[in-house]
Amino acid sequence: MPTKTSSTTRRPGRPAGQTANRKDQRERLLDIALELFAKQGVAETTLSAIARHAGMTPAMAHYYFKTREQLFDVLIDERIVPARANIEAIFQEYAEDPVRALSLVVERLVATHARLPWFGALWIREMISENNIFKQHMRKRFGIERQATMVERVRRWQEQGHLNPDIEPALLFISLLGLTALPIAAMRRCQDDPLNAHLDTETIARHAVAMLTQGVSPRR
């Protein structure tokens, strides 16, 4: 006599939780990759090293990403692009008020550095790196049009009298990273220093905005 099939009996196919687990493993590899890229650089970090730090075999890492370059492209699309877009959106919203736009960019950069510790460290490390892997991948994905557009926008603001004409447009965004990423890194390393223990993201953002908009001149 045939037995009744229980309502909880699974149908043949992929085991329960396998899809979710694969997604978790993939995300873990991306997290570890960003951590290592920011800590020791893109050129110095192999896919095997990423797998080892994630507690996986190289074969398992290759299952998710065939090459380090493929992994890096995914990182750009899924992690770097959203973070950048969140910051760049400010320029669209405040296109006619550059001082306000740049002040908000600074505040959002501080928040991004605090939320994503790899963000500022990766950009600064790769900007001064002699290896061009990071820059090459970014240019392959975006070209130089977006960067050129932002530089031209700063020049136009200067011509319109909205920004200090002595600012070098090509250095402005590098300067913004320096005003935000470096203090955040210092804050994390100075928690036991009584002279810097008071530092928090709000203080860093306020300081960066003051340096950007007022410089070191006393208030008038």
Kindly report the CATH number assigned to the domain that includes residue 138. Answer: 1.10.357.10
Taking the C-alpha atoms of residue 136 and residue 178, their distance in angstroms, rounded to an integer, is: 22
CA–chain centroid gap for 96, Å, is 26
**What is the reported pLDDT for 219?**
67
Residue 203 resides in a domain:
yes
The predicted model scores a pTM of 0.78
Residue 38 resides in a domain:
no
**What is the reported pLDDT for 62?**
93
Which candidate, 37, 54, 142, 156, places its Cα nearest to that of 101? 156
Contact between residue 120 and residue 129 where contact means Cβ atoms under 8 Å apart: no
Residue 73 resides in a domain:
yes
**What is the reported pLDDT for 134?**
82
Taking the C-alpha atoms of residue 198 and residue 195, their distance in angstroms, rounded to an integer, is: 8
Residue 25 resides in a domain:
no
How confident is the prediction along the chain (220 residues), in pLDDT tens digits per residue?
544 444 444 444 444 445 558 888 999 999 999 999 999 988 899 999 999 999 999 999 999 999 988 998 899 899 988 988 888 899 889 989 999 999 999 999 999 999 998 998 888 888 888 888 888 888 887 778 888 888 999 999 999 999 999 999 999 999 999 999 988 888 877 777 777 778 889 999 999 999 999 888 886 6
Give the domain range for residue 136.
Answer: 69-214
Residue 102 resides in a domain:
yes
Query: Judging by beta carbons within 10 Å of its beta carbon (0-12, 13-18, 19+), is residue 140 exposed, middle or buried?
Result: exposed
Residue 164 resides in a domain:
yes
Looking at the structure of the chain, the number of domains it has is 1
Residue 84 resides in a domain:
yes
Taking the C-alpha atoms of residue 3 and residue 41, their distance in angstroms, rounded to an integer, is: 61
Residue 43 resides in a domain:
no
